[in-house]
A and B are shown apart, each in its own frame.
Chain A
Amino acid sequence: MNLLLELLIAEIPQIPKLVADFRALLTAHPALSPTDMAAAIVQISTSTDAAADAILAKAAADAPKP
């Protein structure tokens, strides 16, 4: 284990590039179809809209009354 750690430490200058390569591998996935993407956007934005509405309602309830 120590040998492996020493090996890893010796390669520290290379680690950022290795991590970047690894992340690139992870993110290189097939793209969603336009239909799937539109459906996902509708789903997410609807939920976000509901959260934003709740925020606005709370702010209105909290607003100073004349």
Chain B
Amino acid sequence: MRAALAFALLLSLVACAPKAVPAPGTPAAIAQPSLQFAYDLQAFTDSLGAAQTALETAKTNGSITPATMATINAKFIVPAATLVKQCNAILRANTDWPTAKGQIIKALGAAAIVNVSASVPQTAQVVIATSLAAYNAIAAELGAPTI
């Protein structure tokens, strides 16, 4: 009885909480793994774009060198963006998730994405941390090696 009351209270608190506004076209919950992966990929790509923009700003104001920017682009951002396009092509070509998943895991393995954190200044490490975490979350979800 008490648990039921507490649950009812919890529900009322949740119901009264301010609602997060979802991005346009983004359903609240997606059960299908292919579609969920498409959204994960979108979030990863958004984080890459944001990191690239932040790195460009850091380069412009002298926080990082052009060489650091070039390293991150060549070893992380470009291979990652290329991988995103490969994964999208796989998703569009396969209606069944197990087949798509197998091909995506292979693509992740073949992509020359490097965790450049150890070889770049802390300013750059902070900027790319979100993208690295997003990539590793995707890889872990698929059962592929993380970086």
- The smallest beta-carbon distance between B74 and chain A, in angstroms, is 8
B123 at the binding interface (Cβ < 8 Å): no
Q: Mark B40-53, 1 if CB is under 8 A from A, else 0.
A: 01100110110010
Closest to A54 in B: B49
- The smallest beta-carbon distance between A44 and chain B, in angstroms, is 4
A2 at the binding interface (Cβ < 8 Å): no
B128 at the binding interface (Cβ < 8 Å): no
Contact A55 B48 (CB under 8 A): yes
* Residues from chain A with Cβ under 8 Å of B31 in the complex: 27, 29, 31
- The smallest beta-carbon distance between B120 and chain A, in angstroms, is 15
Q: How many residues of A contact B (CB 8 A)?
A: 40
The residue from B6, B32, B73 contacting A14, defined by CB atoms under 8 A apart: B6
B-side binding surface: helix, strand, loop or mixed?
A: helix
B66 at the binding interface (Cβ < 8 Å): yes
Q: Mark A20-57, 1 if CB is under 8 A from B, else 0.
A: 01100011010110100110111111111101111110
Given contacts A10-B2, A59-B73, contact A41 B82 (CB under 8 A): no
Given contacts A41-B38, A48-B41, contact A8 B10 (CB under 8 A): yes
Given contacts A31-B31, A62-B70, contact A56 B82 (CB under 8 A): yes
Closest to B31 in A: A31
- The smallest beta-carbon distance between B98 and chain A, in angstroms, is 15
Contact A8 B9 (CB under 8 A): yes
Contact A48 B9 (CB under 8 A): no
Given contacts A40-B38, A55-B77, contact A49 B88 (CB under 8 A): yes
Q: 6 smallest A-B Cβ distances: which pairs?
A: A11-B6, A45-B88, A52-B81, A55-B81, A59-B73, A44-B38
